[in-house]
Amino acid sequence: MERTIIKNWSSENVIAGYTTESGGLFRYMNPQDEKNYEALARDFGLRADRLVRVHEDHTDNIFVAEEGSGGEGIMKNEQTGDYDGITTDAEDIMLCIVTADCVPVFLHDPVKNAIALAHSGRVGTGKEIALKAVLKMTEEFGSDPKNIRCMLGPYLCKTHHVVHHPDIILFSEHFSPDERDSFLTVTGDQIRVDMGRAIAISLTRSGVPAENISDCGICTYEHKELYSWRRDHDPDAHILSFILMKHT
């Protein structure tokens, strides 16, 4: 299985990373892809029924994964509704989301031993899904945001993330004009979006210290081994991001 581990992040019992193009496809409830989930699970001494993923639809909903949630979105579909974030305090349960230019947001609370993973595209960022994931960790596990550590995985960088004026409405509800000016650069009829900056604003608003937020600095468009919707226009091709708390 071709995948990259995010090194030196948070704590040694938490493993976070993402797959590359040669790792294959990771579609929702697709039997043809089960072998790819199984290969990923084996890399960490797990079975595929210890992996959990959700049906993403640019919501701000967070799914709470429990021991019985293993295999969700891969070999069973028992949860209802759409989610774009997952959280758990269970060990040896791997949380998974897919992206192809959107931002995978990895979260870990080393004090309460809880993790979360969110899919934050333009819509999700506008809805502040990263902040909602922090709030869900606080609600479910008693996390204090000041203890939470965050890593932003590969996503479409500001150079290539160009939108048009109607898209500004996505950011108007939760971000002030000054905040928008810090992550939107207007040139004529084009707007460049710094998604990482917008998400960092949300996270600090939730109480996560700015020094606890890191960015891997990898652009999906510029790295050919990663899937990019803007570059490839393949609706099935996605990077799978994962986070896992290993039993110690």
Q: What is the DSSP string of 26-82?
A: --TT-GGGHHHHHHHHHTTT--GGGEEE----S---EEE--GGGTTBTTTB--S-S-
Q: What is the pLDDT of residue 81?
A: 85
Question: Residue 193: pLDDT above 70?
Answer: yes
Task: Quote the mean pLDDT of the chain.
Answer: 95
CATH of the domain at 39: 3.60.140.10
Domain residues for 33?
3-245
Domain count for the chain, please give it: 1
Q: What's the whole-number mean pLDDT along residues 116-145? A: 97
Spatial distance between the Cα atoms of 200 and 208, rounded to a whole number of angstroms: 9
Find the mean pLDDT for residues 140-151. Answer: 98
Write down the pLDDT at residue 72. Answer: 96
What's the rounded mean pLDDT across residues 216-232? 96
Confidence of residue 1 (pLDDT cuts 50, 70, 90): low
Question: pLDDT of 150-192, one tens digit each?
Answer: 999 999 999 999 988 777 888 999 999 999 999 999 888 889 9
pLDDT of 173 = 92
Mapped onto helix, strand or coil, the DSSP state of residue 171 is: helix
Q: Residue 7 above 80 pLDDT?
A: yes
Gap between the Cα atoms of 138 and 123, Å rounded:
23
Give me the pLDDT at residue 80, please. Answer: 76
Residue 27 confidence (pLDDT) above 90: yes
pLDDT range class, residue 136, cuts 50, 70, 90: very high
The Cα 200–Cα 154 span in angstroms is: 15
Q: Please give the sequence-ordered ranges of beta strands (E in DSSP) within the chain, or none if there are none.
A: 3-5, 14-19, 51-53, 62-64, 85-88, 94-99, 103-109, 114-120, 149-152, 162-164, 184-187, 190-193, 213-215, 239-245
What gap in Å lies between CA 71 and CA 79, rounded to an integer? Answer: 11
pLDDT in tens, 68-118: 999 999 999 998 789 999 999 999 999 999 999 999 999 999 999 999 999
